[in-house]
Chains A and B, each alone.
Chain A
Amino acid sequence: MAETSLMHQALVFLLAAVISVPVASRLGLGSVLGYLSAGAVIGPFAFGFIGTDIGGVMHFAEFGVVMMLFLVGLELQPSLLWRMRVPIVGLGGLQVVLTTVAIAGVAMALDMGWQHATAIGMILALSSTAIVLQTLNEKGLMKNDAGQSAFSVLLFQDIAVIPMLAILPLLAVTDVEHVSAKHGLPGWQGTLLVLAVVSSIVVVGRLVSRHVFRIIAATKLRETFTAMALLLVVGIAVLMEYVGLSPALGTFIAGVVLATSEYRHELEAEVEPFKGLLLALFFISVGASIDFGLFLENPWPILALVVGLVLIKMVILLVLGWGFGMSARSNAIFTFSLAQGGEFAFVLLSFTSSQDILPAAIVEPMGLVVALSMAITPLLFVLNERVVLPKLSGNANVRPTDTIEPHDAEGEAILVGFGRFGQIVGRLLRMNGFNITVLEHDASQVDLVRSFGHKVFYGDASRMELLESAGIANARLLVLAIDDHQRTLETVHQVRRHYPSLRILARAAGRRQAAELLHAGADHVERETFDSALSLGEHALKNLGYRAYQAHRAAMLFKHHDEKNVHALTEVIADEKAFLTMAKQHTADLEKVLHSDDEADAGLQDSGWDRN
């Protein structure tokens, strides 16, 4: 019976996730809100599709957060972490201390004793690592200023949990036994134990792990490696819990230690899916833990507390972001992202209630407030993106298309896309004295390139108006160097319709895309990886003993033969497109190519030059 109910629960969780996440993504709200709302719907306080033991599920799912920090650690070289020490200690430390003080002050103003007030302040100062990192990652904001600052604060909060667990028992109003950690050793021995455990993680990670991984990898059994990766994370988490440290912090340290390991990518690949599923489960369980009954009893006071909590946190974050010199846009992202209670609040709340530090009358509504504040975080992100950011100037992803003045639109050629591919084309043309107009749709790229004195305009070139204002009517040439095939194809179609005689050169991903672009009317197409692959192949021939010129001729003959294939494909493309699916097309294309290679084999020999 137990299995049935486990299967039943899994069925409900998976179904909820599979339905709600695509809906939320469609609405542009991100996966986190999808999971949270799915949880709220299936939870015991709404439809009750799942059992009432949401706390148990959540506790299990918190392991997703542990895994996430392991993965974050893997991405962080120790040197990078060292460079972040100022934001971690400064920004993070100030956020925790100021927020604790502010919230405690409000609590005391609401007639609470200072002990209760301080406990509440500490618990609510923490933000949700899971929600924030997941959302920032999804939006691709982790690598920029705002993401890095948010991460620094979250990291400090994870560290701050340790002293909090030590301080909270001191705030008990009724006298309880002081137990700071599970091992029950006196303070100084506990500290030594913690130091010993952390340094053994570093030493083992540095010196021992690679040998173990090598042995495991040599078995060539993938599941063994998966098991090893999980064992590593679980083992560290258990060890950390034993010595009273945050498991997330422990696995984070392990991740940083292993960031320089040659098995880093394998570890990432193995842990990633587990992290994803567990985090999803965690978000669902947060949604499910929202106690609508309690909420409906006093909706207004609860709402006031949620809004109050978010506002206090936002004000402090805003001031800190300003004080640390963030741009207005970065500060907005930073402020909106960290303004909720976190998963550690649940841990600390259950700890305080078990230690009688806070009475149930406080703990229960506070749990609800934290869950609600987490649930509205994705909405805050949306509010920030749709309302706040568009009003701010500065460097981020949302910005209006540049206006191109007529005198800037005198380029003989228009180059669309100034990424890795377009840059080479653009630099070559400029070095040879041609005046070109460059359009690029990645805003940060535009600013970077502009700072080197290039004339680059921001905007989406598949819109005809932008091409018009870039002077396409007088240009001799249009070069499409973006990596989005559909947009390139649309642009070729549109431009061909309006300017039948303009020369269009386009970048294509593979042979099928090249054929489609040629068929759509591009004059010349280059496959983005073809020439470099060919060049590498030429080197391979040389390394296998070919003379340089022999290898070069072989590569050129191959290129000629292959390009003929692409043109042949162009002719058949219109007929077969309707009948074949994409995957079948690729197989069919490859078959055709390999067949034609066999036939051409004999022709690929030079017959010129006698043997003097």
Chain B
Amino acid sequence: MMAKALIIYAHPAHQRSQANQTLLDTIAGIADVTVHDLYEQYPNFHIDVEREQALLLQHDIIVFQHPVYWYNAPALLREWQDLVLVYGFAYGRNSQKLAGKVFWPVLTAGASHSSYSESGINRHSLADFFIAYPQIAHLCGMHYETPYEIFSSRQKTQAAMQDVANGYRDKLIALLAGMTHG
């Protein structure tokens, strides 16, 4: 059995995003990868919880791909977490239905890498702001994969952005291969 990856993608203005468009274009066409575009599926925020849970169960690697807004995920992905990762499905006694899967955040930030440091304007690392993600993985019994962080997303040249996107693709393929063999 080949492992399968689910990219849960949340961007309210995908049409204006350079970084995320390049990322998605680069991973398009890899076998066993499903891109699930939340804002395209649920423009009025009415999330089909059963369908989302079924999708999660069909995949082995769960990727959150989204821009960073106010040190957090876009509103629809926050809503998605509240409704889909519920007690009795994602966590709770004997009901960690996602246990054993890989959870991997892919984050794009407009500000520079250095701004996300003690001396920078944001004063904390990106990982500090997203402290909830490893905890969610822990509570759900999932393996947490170190986030793929992309900074200065609007300042990058197209070539530099493409390099970053290639790194994303290679890591995704490696994860799929690792799950398949191991």
> Which A residues fall within an 8 A CB radius of B?
546-553, 606, 608-612
Contacts and interface: CB of A to CB of B under 8 A. Distances in A.
B16 interface: yes
A612 B20 contact: yes
B43 A612 contact: no
A550 B44 CA distance: 11
Nearest to A542: B43
Given A609-B69, A610-B154, A612-B153, A548 B40 contact: yes
A301 B109 CA distance: 103
A606 B154 CA distance: 18
A179 B178 CA distance: 98
Given A548-B39, A548-B43, A612-B67, 14 more contacts: A546-B15, A547-B13, A547-B39, A547-B40, A548-B41, A549-B39, A553-B43, A606-B13, A609-B13, A610-B110, A611-B16, A611-B110, A611-B153, A612-B19
Contacts of B43: 548-549, 551-553
A610 B67 contact: yes
A341 to B, nearest CB: 64
A612 B21 CA distance: 9
B147 interface: no
A552 B44 contact: yes
B104 to A, nearest CB: 18
Contact of A611 (B68, B74, B154): B154
B143 interface: no
B12 interface: yes
Given A609-B12, A612-B109, A549 B19 contact: no
B96 to A, nearest CB: 32
Most chain A C-beta atoms within 10 Å of own C-beta, residue among B13, B44, B74: B13
Nearest to B14: A547
B158 interface: no
For the complex of A and B, the 10 pairs showing the least CB-CB separation, nearest first, are A612-B67, A552-B43, A549-B39, A548-B43, A612-B108, A549-B43, A609-B13, A548-B40, A612-B153, A611-B16
B146 interface: no
B15 A547 contact: yes
Interface in B89-135: 108-110
Contacts of A552: 43-44
Contacts of B74: 609
Contacts of B15: 546-547, 550
A550 B37 CA distance: 13
The A contact surface, by secondary structure, is: loop
Contacts of B68: 612
Contacts of A606: 13
Contacts, number: 52
A550 B40 CA distance: 9
A537 B149 CA distance: 38
6 contacts: A549-B43, A609-B69, A610-B67, A610-B110, A612-B19, A612-B153
A242 to B, nearest CB: 65
A612 B154 contact: yes
B43 to A, nearest CB: 4
B44 A611 contact: no
B18 interface: yes
Contacts of B41: 548
B17 interface: yes
Nearest to B76: A549
Contacts of A609: 12-13, 16, 67, 69, 74
A223 B11 CA distance: 56
Nearest to A610: B110
A549 B18 contact: no
A548 B38 CA distance: 10
A411 B108 CA distance: 54
A611 B69 CA distance: 10
B153 to A, nearest CB: 5
A547 B11 CA distance: 11
Nearest to A612: B67
A594 B40 CA distance: 30
Contacts of B108: 612
B109 to A, nearest CB: 6
Interface string B68-79: 110000101000
Interface in B30-58: 39-41, 43-44
A343 B23 CA distance: 80
Contacts of B67: 609-610, 612
A606 B12 CA distance: 10
Contacts of A553: 43
A611 B39 contact: no
A611 B17 contact: yes
B110 A612 contact: yes
A608 B153 CA distance: 17
A546 B14 CA distance: 10
B72 to A, nearest CB: 13
B12 A549 contact: yes
Contacts of B18: 611
A611 B20 CA distance: 9
B17 to A, nearest CB: 5
A548 to B, nearest CB: 4
A544 B16 CA distance: 16
Contacts of B69: 609
A363 B110 CA distance: 100
A547 B17 CA distance: 12
A609 B79 CA distance: 17
B150 to A, nearest CB: 8
A608 B44 CA distance: 17
A606 B39 CA distance: 15
B137 to A, nearest CB: 23
